[in-house]
Amino acid sequence: MAKGLEKHQAKQSQLSALGKDLTRRSGSKCELCEASGVALRPMPVPPEDEEPEVETCVFVCDTCREQLENPKRIDPAHWRCAAQSVWSEVPAVQVVAARVLDHLGKTELWAREALEDVFFEEEVEEWIAKQVL
């Protein structure tokens, strides 16, 4: 069990080291809902690499993080922001937003419509398809 704890702590340390780069990239806002003035943390986008990298992480607020980690608790009203963030220039942000829209699209017409309008690069489409909410 100690080995698992050490591995987890090492990963958290690696994620924390990305904070400065993610802060610059995000402009100190949640990359998904654009909340500012709130605590932001790096979140790797699955499937995860052994070592987290800026390109494979998103900088998110606690509200977005909690809902992404518990898809049954997703609040569709909060995630209307995904219709905007799916247009981000950052592939990791596009992937998370697209997965959320796809998940919500099962019950929310606006989410289906938002996703229909977006064109993704081939590698982003492959990344989106590798895992869903």
Is the link from the previous residue into 47 a cis peptide, with omega within 30 of 0?
A: yes
pLDDT tens column, 105-123: 999 999 999 999 899 999 9
What is the tens place of the pLDDT at every residue in 55-112?
999 999 999 999 999 988 999 999 999 999 999 999 999 999 999 999 999 999 999 9
Burial label, 68 (beta-carbon count in 10 A; 0-12, 13-18, 19+): buried
User: Closest by alpha carbon to 15, among 33, 38, 41, 35?
Assistant: 41
